[in-house]
Amino acid sequence: MHIKKKLLAGLSLCVMLTSANAYELNGDLDVKWTGYKTAKKVGVSGTFNDINLQIEKSDDLATFLKSSKVQISTASFESGLDVRNESIVTTLFSLKSAEKIIGSITTVNTEDKILKLKLTMNEVTKSIPMSYIINDGEIRVKGQIDILDFSMSQSYAKFAKECFNLHEGKSYSEVDIEFTLPYK
């Protein structure tokens, strides 16, 4: 009987420890983008204000991340400067097919801390390799996209033309993307 109690206590402890390692969303998804301008490649960063994230609690990090589905309204583009926001929305995201950005994580390599983000923009879907770190209850993911990979060359050209003087004649189609997922 004494052995049975110890076995049950040990099993209970294992269940509690496994549950303590569960991943669950603990706040809002933070999305950051950084675009570049001028020959000195000066960065301009911002976010989007309308971000819809769905994610399921899991005991496994890879399962938790792969359950995520995000939808972003490009009209909610936010750079901290109203005139810039309007310029981006009316040029780069002017196409009806570019009103939403949809993303999900398809693979997670926990050993190398690399994942693949399936990103759909302008009805074009690409698999984006990204690195991640886990620190202080946050999963921070970083990668880079090229706007031209999403069949947006005409809207990008319109944007670059409109910003030609402000960008001193140089705009970049590469955009660094980063998102932070708080968990508990």
Q: What is the dihedral of CA 69, 148, 151, 73, to 10 degrees?
A: 40
Average pLDDT over the chain, rounded to an integer? 91
On whether residue 29 sits in a domain, the answer given is yes
On whether residue 50 sits in a domain, the answer given is yes
In this predicted structure, the answer to whether residue 14 has a pLDDT above a threshold of 60 is no
**Domain span including residue 79:** 23-182
On whether residue 8 sits in a domain, the answer given is no
Please give the C-alpha separations between residue 150 and each of 83, 93, 97, 174, in angstroms, as whole numbers: 24, 11, 11, 11
pLDDT tens, residue by residue, 141-169: 999 999 999 999 999 999 999 999 999 99
On whether residue 18 sits in a domain, the answer given is no
| Total number of domains constituting the chain | 1
On whether residue 16 sits in a domain, the answer given is no
On whether residue 12 sits in a domain, the answer given is no
Q: What is the mean pLDDT of residues 116-134?
A: 98
Q: What is the mean pLDDT of residues 53-69?
A: 97
* Distance, C-alpha 149 to centroid of its chain: 17
CB 74 within 8 A of CB 67: no
| CATH code, domain carrying 125 | 2.40.128.110
